[in-house]
Amino acid sequence: MTQPFALPRPSRPGPVVMGIVNVTPDSFSDGGRWASTDLALEHATTLLADGADLLDVGGESTRPGATRPVPAEELDRVVPVITELARRGVAVSVDTMRAEVAAAAVAAGAVVVNDVSGGLSDPEILDVVAQTGAVYVAMHWRAHSERMQEFTHYPEGVVVGVRRELAARVEAALAAGVREEQLVLDPGLGFAKTADQNWELTAGLDAVESLGFPVLVGASRKSFLGSLLAAPDGTPRPIAEREHAGVALSLLLAQRGVWSVRVHDVRATTDALAVWRRLAPTAPEEDA
């Protein structure tokens, strides 16, 4: 096995800001806007200029009810984008559940494999990570998008359940030869969880942190934010109008020391983090 890749670090104190590059026609928040290589690269350039430390390139939508692309289609979507970004020296993550795509992405220059299934969808992805040394984000997951909301029952409570199931994914990764220093955990907000469960899990994030690995949180524009901000008649806030709440949550996550926040609006997030660094008594200060 090669030596593990270095865990990406932020350009300034605080969490790594992971910018989202969806090269898909059907993502829940921006499906189709960046679906070609040229458009995805243009969007990536904007995210970098806005302060992203890491770009997460994905070719499969994981919105509820999404249909999976065939592997060849996913490869065609992500590999050209990753190849060009890596050529420019950009730190890139591939958002995939498939071993085949993960291997091709790392060969193209990705340094992180962000697997929303934590190895449950395609266990061979753990072998790819072990063999390449890529950083591996294992997210809490129970089922594919078309069925995931059928699996929101946690007999012991969502916090205990997620911690237990993530611990099992850590054991599986280590058994496959993945090193501890390669691992990052993601509580999987929005995946097989109700709105209330997402908030309970966010409040209880220390249970996931207690496993001893860096933590990534992806909350940007998700439905539990839409429910929180619902109109008086109960209509959820539209996807494109949830960003302010997401930024507020990113600030709270920064205060508790998460490794990374995965966001759509990088500029709003980095601006808010700059204010936090400058004024918060517990945050590292910017140069005066």
Per the document, the length of the chain is 288
Instruction: Give me the phi and psi of 77, to 5 degrees please.
Output: -75, -45
C-alpha to C-alpha distance for 14 and 261, rounded to whole angstroms: 10
Closest Cα partner for 88 from 121, 122, 55, 135?
Answer: 55
* Backbone Cα Rg of the chain: 18
C-alpha to C-alpha distance for 153 and 95, rounded to whole angstroms: 26
Instruction: Give me the phi and psi of 272, to 5 degrees please.
Output: -65, -40
Task: Quote the tokens at residue 129.
Answer: 């990570």
Max CA-CA distance within the chain?
56
CB 116 within 8 A of CB 136: no
- In sequence order, the 6+-apart residues with CB closer than 8 A to the CB of 225 are 219, 237, 242, 245, 246, 249
C-alpha to C-alpha distance for 46 and 39, rounded to whole angstroms: 11
Collapsed DSSP state (helix, strand, coil) of residue 185: strand
CB 51 within 8 A of CB 84: no
Number of Cβ within a 10 Å radius of residue 118? 26
C-alpha to C-alpha distance for 286 and 130, rounded to whole angstroms: 38
Active site amino acids: 222, 262
Instruction: Give me the phi and psi of 261, to 5 degrees please.
Output: -120, 130
